[in-house]
Amino acid sequence: MEAAKKIQPLLIEWRRHLHQQPEIGGEVPETAAFVAERLREMGLTVREKVGGFGVVGLLEGSYPGRTLAIRADMDALPVTEETGLPFASKHPGRMHACGHDGHTAILLGTAKILAAQRERLKGKVKFIFQPAEEGPGGAKPMIEDGALSNPPVEAIIGLHLGVIWDLPPGTVGVRPGPMMASTDRFEIRIKGKGGHGAMPHQTVDAVVVGAQVVTALQTIVSRRVDPLEPAVVTVGSLHAGSTFNVIADTAVLQGTVRCFQEALREKIRREIEMIARGVAAGMGAEATVDYLPGHPPLINDPNFTEFFAGVARDILGEKRVVTLPYPTMGGEDMSYFLNAVPGTYFFLASGNPAKGIVYPHHHPKFDIDEDVLWLGTALFAETAWRWLGNAPQFSPGPEPAGD
C-alpha cells in the first residue's frame, strides 16, 4: 500500500500521457512502444508485437514458483472528447472513454512495485498489455501467439474502472461465476419484391417483412428462454427503402445477443435463424442469416475470486469490498484469458459525484477519479505477492477512512 501511494504521482503522469494520445483497435503502436519502454526501464524481459501490438513483460523472481498473469487493455474509442480536461485527447474523434488509460497506468505501476521486490519474490509475473478490446478483439490473438506460454501461466487477474455498478469511489466489486455476457452479432437480409407504393399487391414489401421479423425475435427471450436465465436479443438497426413512394425489395437487420451459458447461446442462434426464415417465407420473402459469434461469457473462478476478495478486504476493509448482486450484459474479451486459465476480473469504482465524474463508459464526458489509481496498483501487487506464496507485505490494520 505504501509503495503504491508513493508512486501515485507517476501513475497520474502515465495515465494523462496515455489519455492525450489515444489509439484505436489493434493499431496502438505508440501506446505499445511507451509500455515496452517503461517495462524495460524496470528490468523486465519484454516481448512486443504479440498477436499484433500486444506487449508482454516477464518478471522472474529470485526463487522458483508459480506464474501469475495480470492483464490491462490499452485501446481507446472512436469518440470525440468533451471533458474539457487540460490533458484531453489531442486527436479529435479518438478518446479514452472506457478507462483503459487508467488500466495501463495501474499495471505499469504494479510492475514497478514488484520489480523492486525481485530479490525476495517467489515465482514469475507476466504483465499482459492488450490492444483491441473494444474491437475486433485482442485477447484471442495474443493467446494464440503465446501470451500465456513460456512460462505457462497458471492464473490471471484483471480489472475495470468506471461507474457500471453504483458504488462509492475506491470500492471493489467482485463476483464469482458469470460476470459479463457473450457478445454475438447477427445480420438478417430480407429479400422481397419491390414496386410502386400505390400498388402494394404487386410486391413483397421487405419493410413489412422486416418489421414482422423484429417483432417475432422479441418472443425468443419472452417465450423461449427460461425466465430465470438472463438473455438479451436486441435489433439495433433496420435499413430499407430509398424514398416515400417506392416499396423496398430489400431490408437489412443487425443486432446482438447476450447471455451467460454456451448452450443457451447456441439455442438463441438457432431460434433467430428459424424465426427469420419462417416469418419471411410465410410472407413470400426470403431471409438469409449471418450469425457472428463474439466474445464468450466472462466466468470468474470462484476459488481465485475469493482469494482476491480476501486480499482486497485486508487492504480496503470489509465495507469497501462488495459481492456484486448481478452480472452485466456488457462483454469483455478478458473472457478468453479466463477460459484458458482460472482467475478473476474485478470492478474498481472510479466515479465520483462530488467531482462531477458521473458519466458512463463510451460517453464523450467519461472520466475516472485518479485517486483510485494507487488502489488498483496495490490490489494487483499484493494479490500477486501472496498468490505466488510470499508472506503478506503488511499486517491489516483498521479500515482506512479514505484514500
The rounded distance, in Å, linking the Cα atoms of 159 and 344 is 8
Mean pLDDT of 31-53: 98
- Domain spanning 184-292 has what CATH number? 3.30.70.360
Q: Is the dihedral of CA 298, 342, 142, 67 positive or negative?
A: positive
Q: Which residues pair with 47 in a beta bridge?
A: 56
State whether residue 199 is helix, strand or coil.
coil
Catalytic residue among 75, 134, 184, 370: 75
Mean pLDDT of 265-278: 98
Q: Is 306 an active-site residue?
A: no
Mean pLDDT of 132-155: 97
Mean pLDDT of 263-278: 98
Catalytic residue among 23, 73, 101, 133: 133
DSSP codes of every residue in 103-153: HHHHHHHHHHHHHTTGGG-EEEEEEEEE--TTTT-SHHHHHHTTTTTTTTP
Mean pLDDT of 246-274: 98
Identical fold, 2-180+298-387 and 184-292 = no
For residue 333, pLDDT over 60 is answered with yes
Per-residue pLDDT tens digits for 65-81: 999 999 999 999 999 99
CATH T-level topology, domain 2-180+298-387: Aminopeptidase (3.40.630)
pLDDT band, residue 157 (cuts 50/70/90): very high
52 Ramachandran zone, left/alpha/beta (phi>0; psi -120 to 50): left
Q: Is 333 an active-site residue?
A: no
Percentage, residues of the chain above pLDDT 90: 96
pLDDT band, residue 127 (cuts 50/70/90): very high
pLDDT band, residue 393 (cuts 50/70/90): low
pLDDT at 394: 54
* Least trusted range by pLDDT, from 180-189, 247-256, 270-279, 386-395: 386-395
Name residues whose C-beta falls within 8 Å of residue 99's C-beta, 6 or more positions apart in sequence. 160, 161, 162, 350, 361, 366, 368
For residue 186, pLDDT over 50 is answered with yes
For residue 308, pLDDT over 70 is answered with yes
For residue 339, pLDDT over 60 is answered with yes
CA distances from 185 to 24, 233, 260, 287, 288 (A): 21, 10, 15, 16, 14
- Sequence ranges of the domains in the chain: 2-180+298-387, 184-292
What's the mean per-residue pLDDT of the chain?
96
The x, y and z cell numbers of residue 72, run together, are 490491462
Q: Which residues pair with 43 in a beta bridge?
A: none
Mean pLDDT of 330-350: 97
Mean pLDDT of 261-290: 98
